[in-house]
Amino acid sequence: MSGENLLLDAIAGFAVHVSRRVSDLNGAIESHRCKLLNNCTSSAAPKANIEFERPGNPFINFVSRLLVANAREPDQENTTYFAAADRIIAVGDVHGDLGALRNVLKLSKLIGSNDEWVGGGTVLVQVGDLLDRGDQERAAFELLLKLREDAKKHGGAVHILHGNHEIMNVSLDFRYVTPGGFVDFEPLADQANEKLGKLPPAISETIKGLPEFMRSRAWSLRPGGPFSNRISTNQLAIVIGDNVFVHGGLRPTHLAEPGALETMNSACRAWMQGRAEKPSSLKTGKSPVWMRNYSLGSPKIGSDECNTLQASLDLIPAKRMIVGYCSRSKTLSHNVARY
């Protein structure tokens, strides 16, 4: 293969149903939530010590990334690195609010009055946390899936990332699910009851131990469940041109090995599909979906956070990091954007 083809090959690697039985479920949900909250520690990520080494040679890191991308099987779709785009819209934390999602997409000139894609070659990135807090999680997800297919036909793209709430739900942590969020999965109740006994004993007993109104959702969102399999094709982090997108953030410790982002995405996918254990990288407050070091808001963002950020960007390499969590009206620093 010629050197030109090798280079091109490497570049290619970048290259509702919702019922309203709120009054029936509110009491039961609140009771169970109180029990969970009493038994769980705070989900807030602790402030981490700054411990990292600066990369010795950014060019070597860049070449390593190219080689990892180029090492894919010929028919394996690239799911981590993508070519630069003229226009990128990032939307964070939808949390089951279909109306707000539609409004944002219309204001961004991405969809028309019939939810059709009108964004041309624009790239849309939903930066995680589609689930929890709102009643229309599945409808919001279905809309984004439809737009993902529509955008491809017009030279655009739609990427959906995992946030901490997707990880919580696949872990069967339903503290922040609304009544409508449980009702949305009730049509699967018969199927869930029929197949529950065929699951591994550990997961089967866990689901049986939940209140009855939670079991359909738990069956569908467990590792290997129908809905978990559907969202498993989403990513933890992606790079578009010189922009890296991730829900919480990335530290140098997340990026120590060549191909770290692809490894991270692959491990999360395998867990959600029920093919592997939950990755250890997703179990702590310092994980890419939980860390809030870049989400504290001015003036709490200090030199330690900026140094950590820059070291992370050098390792990827990228020029800026776009993260989720609460919205802000402006960029927190010169190279961290939040949406």
3-state secondary structure (DSSP) of residue 266: helix
φ, ψ of residue 260 to 5 degrees: the values are: -60, -40
CB atoms within 10 A of CB 95: 20
**205 Cβ contact list (under 8 Å, min separation 6):** none
Distance CA 71, CA 88 (A): 27
φ, ψ of residue 159 to 5 degrees: the values are: -115, 135
Token pair, residue 300, equals: 């709490």
Nearest alpha-carbon partner for 141 in 191, 101, 188, 192: 101
3-state secondary structure (DSSP) of residue 284: coil
**150 Cβ contact list (under 8 Å, min separation 6):** 116, 117
Distance CA 268, CA 126 (A): 17
10 strand-pairing partners: none
φ, ψ of residue 126 to 5 degrees: the values are: -95, 115
Q: Cβ distance 115 to 138 under 8 Å?
A: no
Token pair, residue 172, equals: 């069967």
Angle (nearest 5°) at CA 257 between 255 and 262: 75
Establish whether 165 is a catalytic residue.
Answer: yes
Catalytic residue among 95, 159, 165, 254: 165
Distance CA 227, CA 239 (A): 25
- Show which residues are catalytic: 165
